[in-house]
Amino acid sequence: MLRRTILVMLVAAMVIGLVASCAPKATPTPTPKPAEPTKAPPTKPPEPGKTYKVALVISLLGDRSFLDSAARGIGWAQERLANVETKIIENADVGEQQLAARAMAEAGYDLIITVGFGSADWTSEIATEYPDTHFALVDATLDVPNGTGLIFKEHDGSFTVGMAAAMLTKTGKVGFVGGMDVPLLRRFQEGYIQGVKYADPNVEVVSGWVGAWGDPTKGKELALTQYEEGADIIYAAAGKSGEGVLAASAEKGLFSMGVDSDQCYIAPGNVICSMMKMVDVSVFDAIKSLSEGTLEAGNRVYGLENDAVGLCYLYDIDTEFLDNGPADMAAKMTNEVIPAVKAAVQRIKAGEMCVKDHMEIYPCDNPAQPGGMGM
């Protein structure tokens, strides 16, 4: 049995290796694969004529949220950067993602991007084995000399949508639906609650965890439970399960908030806003630095300060709700919520207040106080 497993894995690795070695031919770049001198330290200047090869190793796309955002970053790089060629490898199975990452490193890729806090261990392990390849990891830190962690201040972003929820609720109760009860999602939840309380300490928050990322049926039922308890706005940070929350808001004629990507179009008029987490920007930036020869090891932090998280209206990204939502709420959004959130963002940027981080990675000495907005 064991022997057969090993055999199967070997064959799989060979097939992936074969595919990997064939694929780059598809690009129009005439330069043959440069015979690279042995070492490629991360900070050397860009070689003229070199084509940088980038692979994104990711779970199955199509969540219209977090994962798709990463893939979008790759798409931008392919379009806008002339000396970069990209490849996306989707695999639902984490074991196969590891095989794929290894195969890409073997195939001489310059940058391999992996996704998710759960990938931290194996990414740093593989990075140690392939010191000539640079690795980037979305959502967790990487502490290897050839690794870059792309991390986000989700608590800051969730704070801004929390403010919007508190200002727009008519029942005095808002909801939060998370995918799984893990530290990263607690960061979303606690940031959201702080935002709600900052805008209006009397607004109550009910929270729930679906227990799965890919079960919209349960997501919808959980949302219906929260609506029944009196919440009228629910912030969904639950991957594909979140689709169920958005569907529930459309069915009930109530409201929801999306996450990571712009999700307003999914149920226009019911999805008030999305908490943007610009994984696309971070991925594109990393590739751009690579192509300019300036990609360094260490972690890159994305937050309000570099316009990478927060209420979508901060960045004029989606405005479907203003046209399709109830007129009074749309007007309140334009006249009160957006200015208030912008003011709060200014205070956070200026260091006058901060949002407490559940994971305590970012220190916070003067947290935003409940009622601090002073309405």
Partner 1 sequence: MDTTVLLDILQRYVFNVANLQGMLRLSTPIVLAGLCALITSRAGILNIAGEGMILFGAWFAVAGSYFAENALVGVAAAMLSGAVIGGLFALFSLRFRAHIIIMGIAINIFANAATIFLTRAVFKQAGAFAAPRIQGLNPIALPIIKDIPILGEVLSGYSLIVYLTWILVALTTLFLYRTPWGLHLRAVGENPQAAETLGINVPRIRFAAVMASGVYASLAGVYLSLGHLKMYTDQMAAGRGYIGMAVNTFGGGEPIGVFLASTLFGLVDTIGWRLQGERIMPVYFISMLPYVATLVALTVFTLRQQRAKRAALANNAEEE
Residues belonging to the chain: 375
The DSSP bridge partners found for residue 256 are 234, 271
Rounded least distance, CB 73 to partner 1, Å: 16
Cα separation, 255 vs 60, in Å, equals 28
- Whether residue 116 contacts residue 139, with contact meaning beta carbons closer than 8 Å, is answered with yes
State the residues that interact with partner 1 by CB under 8 A: 60-64, 68, 92, 181, 206-209, 211-212, 214-218, 220-222, 224-226, 228-229, 240, 243-244, 247, 266
Give 204 or 336: the residue with its C-beta nearer to partner 1. 204
Give 111 or 224: the residue with its C-beta nearer to partner 1. 224
Rounded least distance, CB 208 to partner 1, Å: 5
Rounded least distance, CB 372 to partner 1, Å: 24
Rounded least distance, CB 68 to partner 1, Å: 8
Rounded least distance, CB 205 to partner 1, Å: 9
Give 266 or 354: the residue with its C-beta nearer to partner 1. 266
List the structure tokens of 59: 């779970």
Place of tokens 């958005």: 246
The H or E element spanning position 137 is strand 134-138
The H or E element spanning position 111 is strand 111-115
Rounded least distance, CB 232 to partner 1, Å: 15
Rounded least distance, CB 167 to partner 1, Å: 22
Give 90 or 106: the residue with its C-beta nearer to partner 1. 90
Rounded least distance, CB 72 to partner 1, Å: 12
- Whether residue 88 contacts residue 58, with contact meaning beta carbons closer than 8 Å, is answered with yes
Give 228 or 316: the residue with its C-beta nearer to partner 1. 228
DSSP tag of 59: S
Alpha-carbon 320 to chain mean position: 21
Reduce the secondary structure of 156-218 to three states and give it as a string.
HHHHHHHHHHHHHCCCCEEEEEECCCCHHHHHHHHHHHHHHHHHCCCCEEEEEECCCCCCHHH
Give 212 or 364: the residue with its C-beta nearer to partner 1. 212
List the structure tokens of 56: 């994104």
The C-alpha angle 16, 19, 21, rounded to 5 degrees, equals: 105
**Residue 216: which of 267, 168, 279 has the closest Cα?**
267
Rounded least distance, CB 212 to partner 1, Å: 6
Torsion, Cα 168 243 63 268, to 10 degrees, reads -50
Place of tokens 């595919």: 19
Give 216 or 303: the residue with its C-beta nearer to partner 1. 216
Give 10 or 265: the residue with its C-beta nearer to partner 1. 265
Give 229 or 292: the residue with its C-beta nearer to partner 1. 229
Q: Compute and round to an integer the Cα radius of gyration of the chain.
A: 22
